[in-house]
Every structure is written in structure tokens, then in C-alpha cells.
Homo-oligomer: A and B are copies of this chain.
């Protein structure tokens, strides 16, 4: 056995020599959905710097934390947040059990497809819809409800499942970072348990790396079996100044790279890029009215104004979707 042990490093060396060209060939294909240009160069330069052993910018793999907003950064958010469209479908499905909703706002507006009145109900109305559609069941039941909806519901414009409305260039980015030792997290204003049923399959991000807004849950014994019941009370809002708070609470260390698309991501970008050493901030700017949507300073959903101004002074990369991305969605590759 001693001889065998001695041979291990020799064979290992041989293996690496043989495998190296294969490895290099694969590396050529990182970020295949990105056009060459400043954005792609900037991310490749950053990843190169933090992974170069002995380099001035080297970051230990354990510290290679990258955080991604979800709505408008990893998937689309028009005509409205997909979670709101889920809430609307859910209210409609539950309506037979709630005859009072026929005359009660904002439910009446939902049932009558009265978008104007619904929009006028504001944040208060939105919270009422979320509480009515997202709480009262166990966590296991809610996971099943979301899973079923994602499997059947279709986006109004593209007539495809919502999970196909993800950005291929960002899927490339997630994979590229993970291939370089990064741990990728979602940090979204959206509901944590609305995202978890699909993030592993769609983004390769496991549930324990998803941070989001949440309601309170309560432990109970039902028929001798423990359950967690979703209560109609807000626990944590993971948006704006809540994002760095959520990052510290869930991850416990400062990310070195942050990816967002709206003013809701401003504080996350500030917190991430204010750390010591090499840091990277990126904003997805929605500029493609043909393949996706074009919006920024005046949009109600995904408003991008202050973060766009600060990007200049802070050196954050602003991605021009129309110019920088070869394709938007995976189904457009064919």
C-alpha cells in the first residue's frame, strides 16, 4: 500500500496535465449570452482579480458571497410583480368561499379585473391581498399551492410559465460565479416562501440561500403532528434599507458582489461595495422595449432613479439590456 500511496501525487499531476486543455476550452464559454463590451469585461476582470492566488485582490472562497435581487434582476417584473399576479389568481380561486369579497375592496377590484381601482388601493390594498392569499395555511400547504400555480399559470404577454421569464445572461452569470467559487444568494423584496419552491431548479440556488420578505409563522401540534402555520402578520420586509439588514441577519458577512435593478437595491449595493478590498456592484437597466420592457425613473414597478445616479460616482456597472444581452430569455436562444 505504501507504493500505491506514493503514486497518488504522480497520477494526480498526470490527470491535471491531461484535463487542463478540456478545462480551458470550457472557460472560453463563460457568459455566452453576453455581448462583448464594458459590462462583460468588468465582471470578468473582477472575477479574475478575486480568484487570482497571490494577487492583490484575492478573496478566500468562503468570503466570495454574491447577492442577487430577483424581480427585474433575475426574472421579469412586468406587467406587475409575478407574486402579485399569483395573489390575484389565488383571490379568484378562493372567492367562492368568500362571498363578502364581491362588495369589499380591494377584493372586488380583483374579481372584476378593475386594475385602476386596484392600483388606487395602494400599499394597504396590496398587503390585504397578500394576507388573504398567502396566510392561514401551513408552510407545507403553501409550498404546494405555489408549486401548482407555477406549473400551470402563464404570463399574460409571453403565454409561457413565469419561470421561463428568467434572464439567460443572468443564469450565465450565476453559473460563472459559482464556477469560480462564489456562493450565490437571492436577496429580494418578494416573499421568501414564494421564491423557494423554484429557485433551486431555475437558478441553482437552494432554499437556504434565499432571503426575502416574510410573514410570521407559528409552531403548532395538529393531531399529534407538528405544523408551521402562516399568520397574517408581517415579520420582515426585505426591501431598500431592509436588504442590508436581511443580508447581515441571514448571511452574517458582507457580500463582495451585488446585482440589482431598482432603487429597492440601492442600500444593498451601498452596503456591499463599501466593504474593504475588491467589490462589485451591477445594475440591470431595462432598455429593451422590443424583447422585454424599457423603464426606469418613472416606472411604478422597479423604479430606477437614485441608484442610477449613484452608479456613476460609485463605479457600479450599468447593464444596457438591449446592447449587452444577446438574448433575454432561454426560449429565445433557439
Task: Find residues 216-244 in chain A having any chain B CB closer than 8 Å to their own CB.
Answer: 217-219, 221, 225-226, 228, 235, 241-242, 244
Fill in one digit per residue for A9-46: 1 if any B CB lies within 8 Å of its CB, else 0: 00110110011011000000000000000000000000
Query: Which of A77-85, A108-116, A125-133, A250-258 contacts its partner?
Result: A250-258
Q: How many subunits of this chain does the assembly comprise?
A: 2
Cβ contact within 8 Å between B193 and A226? no
Q: How far is the CA of A18 from the CA of B76 in the complex (A)?
A: 51
How far, in Å, is A252 (CB) from chain B's closest CB? 3
A interface secondary structure, majority:
helix
Q: Is A117 an interface residue (CB 8 A)?
A: no
* Interface residues of A, count at CB 8 A: 49
Query: Which of A150-158, A160-168, A266-274 contacts its partner?
Result: A266-274
Q: How far is the CA of A93 from the CA of B244 in the complex (A)?
A: 30
How far, in Å, is A260 (CB) from chain B's closest CB? 15
Cβ contact within 8 Å between B228 and A248? yes
Cβ contact within 8 Å between A219 and B245? yes
Cβ contact within 8 Å between A11 and B15? yes
Cβ contact within 8 Å between A139 and B196? no
Chain B residues closer than 8 Å to A241, beta-carbon distance: 218-219
Chain B residues closer than 8 Å to A274, beta-carbon distance: 225-226
Closest B-chain residue to A230, C-beta based? B248
